[in-house]
Amino acid sequence: MKSSLNDRAAWAESGWLPLILFVVTILTRIPFASQYLYHWDSVNMAFGIEKFDVLNGAPQFPGYIVYVVLGQLMNALIGSPQTTMVLISVVCSGLAAVALYYLGRDMFNPVTGLIASVFLIASPLVWFYGEIALPHAPDLFVITWVVWMLYRIMQGDTRLLWFTAVVMALLGGFRQQDLLFLGPVALFALYRIGVRRLMIFTAVGFVFTLLWFIPLTQNAGGIQAYLAGSSGFSAAFFNSTSLLAGAGFTGLRRNLFLKLIPYTLYAWSLAIVPALIYWGVKLPVQWRVWLRSRRAWFIALWIAPTLAFYIIIHMGQQGLVFVFMPALFLLSAEASYRLLNARPNLLWASTAAVALAGTAIFLFAPEYPLGGSDLRLLTNATIRTADRLRADEIATVRASFDPTHTVLVSEGWRYTEYYLPEYELVRISVGSKYEVNEGQILDV
């Protein structure tokens, strides 16, 4: 039996495996890709790819300039911002699977890396965001990649030091708050490299940060205009969700119980089971050992800052959990390995069962499995419904109303601006679900 597991471990370390994981991910995403811009932010990104103007919401603050420039470069060949962004999501989903395999291999062992990658590929939430025009799948990839390099550096592989500084700087231009979230784990990984190297690392990161920060602020009319616009944009969300801004229990309930916990559980899916079984038993009796483990501290510092921000300040859409989900997939994979390493056939069967369950949820689960609107799942059905409704809306308006004699009144006016630009438009803003101003008309 041990020989059998060793054979599988050798296969899990095959040089072909990362390519297989990448190709499998790509092939499972392509047939289900969305056809229309799925989210309000998708429309903002599309406008930004066509003409970057952060003050006018193209895209929204903080600007996502590295993502938008990547989109502009690809769109020069493709000619469709929607198709461009979906292609980026598909490819980055595959790259995220590869990056997590390498992280799991180096943090634990090749089998754990493989299982974690399978959990990621089959996660219904990861699958969903790999099909739509939003930057969350790229975010998942780059964060996992950065964390892998930081872990290698912590283990003594300083060859990656300067390259990591460059990638982290570019990550800041991709999604600025990621640097805040990864700051503690980066400091923990780097504090032993020496003051001189740390200063050079910081200098390299600063220089490459300026490469995106200067054009971003210039586009906004200067740094003061950019900071003022960014502050105003953040306040529009944080004032109704942040405990520090007086949202109180309503904000806590929204951030933690209505968003963070459900989104995390959905992304984790059945992969949570081995983690609960193994770590749930070990944590109460081995916590003193873990306090002395650099690996345990590394994982904790990766997860904790993001959770604190999402609970106290603001939790947005579901894909934001991708900052820490790779860590949870790793913990589940290592739990599976430790529970079943003596029974390899059962180990792989249970891994396959988790993967099949996640696949079935994404492919076959309805958008509202309980009816009504209380429990909503992001699945293939959600994408198909959104595409159909958007196509029907555009076709109906154009077939029924002459733009020279029609004024459209729209709460989802950003879509209308993009898909029906020939019509006059009255914009209505309404408070979002689960926020203190839910359902209130905020602006006309």
For residue 106, what are the contacts with CB-CB under 8 A and spacing of at least 6? 113, 148, 151, 152, 155
pLDDT at 3: 47
Note if the bond before 344 is cis, omega within 30 degrees.
Answer: no
Quick check: 85 and 46 in contact, CB under 8 A?
yes
Count CB neighbours of 179 within 10 A: 18
Helix runs in 155-221, H state only? 161-174, 177-190, 195-219
Residue identified by tokens 């992001």 is 378
Count CB neighbours of 355 within 10 A: 19
Strand, coil or helix: what is 425? Answer: strand
H/E run at residue 84: helix 81-107
For the cut 60, the answer to whether the pLDDT of residue 29 exceeds it is: yes
Residue identified by tokens 């050798």 is 10
In this structure, which amino acid lies at residue 71? G
pLDDT at 365: 98
Q: What is the mean pLDDT of residues 2-27?
A: 77
- pTM attached to this predicted model: 0.94
Rounded (10°) angle between helices 81-107 and 110-122: 150
In this structure, which amino acid lies at residue 233? F
Which one, of 12, 140, 23, 123, lies nearest residue 354 by Cα?
A: 123
Which one, of 183, 91, 108, lies nearest residue 146 by Cα?
A: 183
The pair of structure tokens assigned to 81 is 């911002």
Torsion (CA) 152, 156, 160, 166 in degrees, nearest 10: 80
Q: What is the mean pLDDT of residues 203-213?
A: 97
Torsion (CA) 358, 361, 363, 367 in degrees, nearest 10: -140
Burial-class residue 224 by CB neighbours within 10 Å (0-12, 13-18, 19+): exposed
Quick check: 137 and 126 in contact, CB under 8 A?
yes
Beta strands in 44-152, from DSSP E residues, in sequence order? none
In 267-301, which positions are buried (b, 16+ CB within 10 angstroms) versus exposed (e)?
Answer: bbbbbbbbbeebbeeeeeeeeeeeeeeeeebbbbb
pLDDT at 1: 45
What does the alpha-carbon distance between residue 196 and residue 204 come to, in Å, rounded to a whole number? 12
For residue 159, what are the contacts with CB-CB under 8 A and spacing of at least 6? none
What does the alpha-carbon distance between residue 259 and residue 140 come to, in Å, rounded to a whole number? 19
Which one, of 137, 127, 394, 75, lies nearest residue 267 by Cα?
A: 127
What does the alpha-carbon distance between residue 134 and residue 45 come to, in Å, rounded to a whole number? 8
In this structure, which amino acid lies at residue 271? A
133 φ/ψ sector (left φ>0, alpha ψ -120 to 50, else beta) = beta
For the cut 50, the answer to whether the pLDDT of residue 80 exceeds it is: yes
* Widest pairwise Cα distance in the chain: 77
pLDDT digits (tens, 9 = 90+) for 331-379: 999 999 999 999 999 999 999 999 999 999 999 999 999 887 778 999 9
pLDDT digits (tens, 9 = 90+) for 87-105: 999 999 999 999 999 999 9
- Least-confidence region, from 125-139, 173-187, 235-249, 334-348: 235-249
pLDDT digits (tens, 9 = 90+) for 263-307: 999 999 999 999 999 999 998 888 888 889 999 999 999 999 999
β-bridge mates for residue 427, sequence order: 410
Which one, of 57, 74, 76, lies nearest residue 66 by Cα?
A: 74
Quick check: 383 and 13 in contact, CB under 8 A?
no
